Amino acid sequence: MVYTPSRNHSKKARQEQERKKELKKRKKKETISGDGVREYSLGRNIFYVLGSAWKIKKSLPVLMLIIMLSEAADCYVPLLIVKFVIDGIEKKISIGSLLFIVGAAGALQLFMYVMKSIGKYQTDPRAFYVSQQWQIQRILKIHSMDYELLESQHMQDMISRSQDGVNGMRQMLGSLTRSGHHFFKMFFALVIIATASPLMILVTVLISVSRYVISDRTSKWIKENIDNKNVPARRKTSYYADVAMDFKYGKDIRLFQMADNLSRGQEKAQKEFFDRFCEGRRKWVRSKWAVAMLDQFLQTGIMYGWMICKVLFRGMSIGSFTLYIGSINRFGGVVAQLFSDYVNLREVNRRINDFRTFMEYPDTRQEKTLPLPQAEQTSFVFDHVWFRYPGHEEYVLKDICLTIQPGKRLAVVGPNGAGKSTFIKLLCRLYKPEKGVITVNGTNIWEVDQKDYFRLLAPVFQNVESYACSLAQNVSFRTLEETDVKRAEGAIREAGLGEKLDTLKNGAQTQLLRFLYEDGIDLSGGEKQKLSFARALYKGAKVFILDEPTAALDALAEQEMYAGFDRHIGGCTAVYISHRLSSTKFCHGVAFFEDGRIVEYGTHEDLMKKNGRYAHMYRIQARYYQEGGAAL
C-alpha cells in the first residue's frame, strides 16, 4: 500500500521547511556591532551597491566590465609580441611573418586602448550621477525621519558617518573596477604560468596572503580605534567652523568677545582629532615596512631563481623565459593588488555599513494607518499624557489631561521651562508620548496617516528660518510652478508685510538670502515671524498652532498681530502659546502650565477671579506695560 500524506501533514511539513529556512536566514543575517552599526558581509554590500547603481544607471556596470576586460587584456599583448618576435628570430622566420605578428598585435592593442578609453570617458560622469542620487536618498531620509531622533547625539553621529558611507559607495564602484581588472589579469597570467610552473603560483599566493593579513588587520584597527573614535571630535570641529561662518552668530561673537573661547574649543577638538590621526599613520607605516620586506626579498628572489634554473637546465627558450617572467611578475603583483583591493573593499565596506544602517533605521511611523477622521471642525484630547526626552529621567510633561474644543481658541501660558513648547511638539506629532494618548476626533494621532495629519496643522514657531528661494516660495513651501503667487501675496499682506512687499522691486518673486543670490535680501527677526504667519495663512489648514511666534515683536505689535490673525482664521481651531499674556483675553480657554503640569484652567475672567498663579503673572505684566517698561 502506498502512503499518501494528508493535507494537514503536507501543511505541517511545509511549515517545518519554512521554519528551517527562516532559521538559516537569521544565521546569515547581518550582526550588530557595539556601536549599533549593522555589519553586512562584503558580498552582500557589493550586490547592494551594484544593484543600486544598476537601478539608477544601467549602463554603468556594463561600462565597468568593459574597462576590466580591456585593461587586463592590454597588459599581456606586449608580452605576447615580445615572445613571438624572439621565438621568430630564433627560428629565423621571414620578415613578412614577423611584421604580420607585430601588426596584428598592434591592432589588437589599439582596439583594447580604444575600448578602455571609451569606458573610462563614459564611466566617470555616470558614477558621479549615481553617487549624487545616493546623496539625495540620504538627504530625503534625514528630512523624513522622526523629528525627535534629530536631537539624539547618537543619531547625529550616524548622520555624519552616513556621509562617509556615500563616499564609500562611490569608492566601491572604483574599487570593484580595479579589482575586476586585477582579477582578469590574474586569470590570464594563471593560464600562462600553469603551463610552466604551477608551484610558483602557490609560493606567490602564500606571500600575498601574508601581505593581506598584515594590511587587513591594520586597516580594521584604524577604522575601529581611530576613525570611529574621531567622529565626535570631527563633529565638534564642524560645529565651531559652522558657527564661525554663520552670520546669525556674528554679533554675539564680536560683542561678547567669544572668539578666544571658541578658538580654544576648536583647538582642543582638532588636537584630539590630530593625535588619533598620527597614531593611525604610525600604525600604517609599520605595516607597510613589513609588506615591503615580504615583497622585495622573498617573492622577487624566488621567482628569478626558479626561472633561471628552467632556462639553464630545462631548455626553456628566451622568448618563453621573457613571457613567463613577465607573467609571474604580473601574477605576483596582481595577487598582491587583489588582496590590497580586498583590504580596501573591507575598509570601504565598513563605511557602507554606516550608510545602510542609517538608511534602514526604522521609523516609528506605521505602515498601515487610518484615514484622518472627517469632521467640520477638529478637536484634540490629551488623555493622561506623560513625556520625557530620550536619555532623561525627569518628565517634562506629567499627567496632562486637556481637551481642545473644535473651533475654539486655547491659550497655553506659564513661566519658561513649564513644558509649553513640549506640549506643542506632542500635539504636532513631532514626539510620541511615553504614557497616555493624544487623539484627534477620537482617533490616536499616531494611528492617523502622517501626511494627512500634517496637512491638518498650520504651525507658527518662535524660531523662524527663511530659505534660499523666492519670497512667494518661502510662503507656499512649493516649487515655483506649484505656487499661487497672488495667493502668497495676499497672505504676506494679511500677515503685516504689505509695506515691505511694496518696497521690493521684484515683489513676491524677490529671492531671500544673499548666501546663494547676490540680489537676495535678508529679513529681520520681526519680519521673519510675520513671514511664518503668512505661511500658516497660505496653507489654509483647519488647526492653527502659534508657539510664541511674537517674541521678536513689541507688546503693541504682538497684540495687533494676534487680533488680526484671530479675525482671519474665523471658526478654525487655534492654540496660542506665549509667556506674555496678551493673547489670552480673546481665547475661550486658558491652560496655565507649571513644572510640567496644568495647575490652572479656565477663561481669562475665571482665572483672574481665582486670583492664583495666572492672575499674579498677568498683573505683573500689566504693571510693566502701564509703567512703560520693556515688553516681556
Residue-level pLDDT at 625:
54
Q: Judge contact between 90 and 317, C-beta under 8 A.
A: yes
Residue-level pLDDT at 366:
54
Looking at the domain assignment, is residue 372 inside a domain?
Answer: no
Residue-level pLDDT at 381:
94
C-alpha 159/C-alpha 426 separation (Å) is 24
- Looking at the fold, whether 481 and 345 belong to one and the same domain comes out as no
- Looking at the fold, whether 332 and 189 belong to one and the same domain comes out as yes
C-alpha 418/C-alpha 317 separation (Å) is 92
C-alpha 287/C-alpha 343 separation (Å) is 13
Looking at the domain assignment, is residue 46 inside a domain?
Answer: yes
- Looking at the fold, whether 317 and 423 belong to one and the same domain comes out as no
- Looking at the fold, whether 458 and 485 belong to one and the same domain comes out as no
Which structural domain range is residue 471 located in?
Answer: 467-522
Phi, psi of 459 (to 5 degrees): -85, 150
* All residues at 6 or more sequence positions from 366 whose CB lies less than 8 Å from its CB, including other chains: 446, 447
- Looking at the fold, whether 224 and 310 belong to one and the same domain comes out as yes
Structural domains of the chain, count: 3
CATH code of the domain in which 574 resides: 3.40.50.300
User: Which residues of the chain have a pLDDT value below 70?
Assistant: 1-36, 90, 196-197, 247, 251, 254-256, 293-302, 314-315, 332, 336, 363-368, 375, 515, 549-559, 561, 579-580, 582-583, 623-632
C-alpha 220/C-alpha 170 separation (Å) is 20
C-alpha 275/C-alpha 278 separation (Å) is 5
CA distances from 582 to 316, 390, 393, 413, 421 (A): 102, 34, 34, 10, 18
- Looking at the fold, whether 410 and 392 belong to one and the same domain comes out as yes
Residue-level pLDDT at 22:
52
Looking at the domain assignment, is residue 531 inside a domain?
Answer: no
- Looking at the fold, whether 82 and 116 belong to one and the same domain comes out as yes
Looking at the domain assignment, is residue 527 inside a domain?
Answer: no
Q: Longest C-alpha distance within the chain, in Å?
A: 121
Question: Which of residues 359, 389, 424 is at a domain's end?
Answer: 359
- Looking at the fold, whether 411 and 484 belong to one and the same domain comes out as no
Residue-level pLDDT at 40:
86
Looking at the domain assignment, is residue 341 inside a domain?
Answer: yes
Residue-level pLDDT at 631:
40
- Looking at the fold, whether 99 and 171 belong to one and the same domain comes out as yes
Residue-level pLDDT at 410:
92
Looking at the domain assignment, is residue 418 inside a domain?
Answer: yes
CATH code of the domain in which 133 resides: 1.20.1560.10
- Looking at the fold, whether 151 and 244 belong to one and the same domain comes out as yes
Report the predicted TM-score, pTM, of the whole model to 2 decimal places.
Answer: 0.63
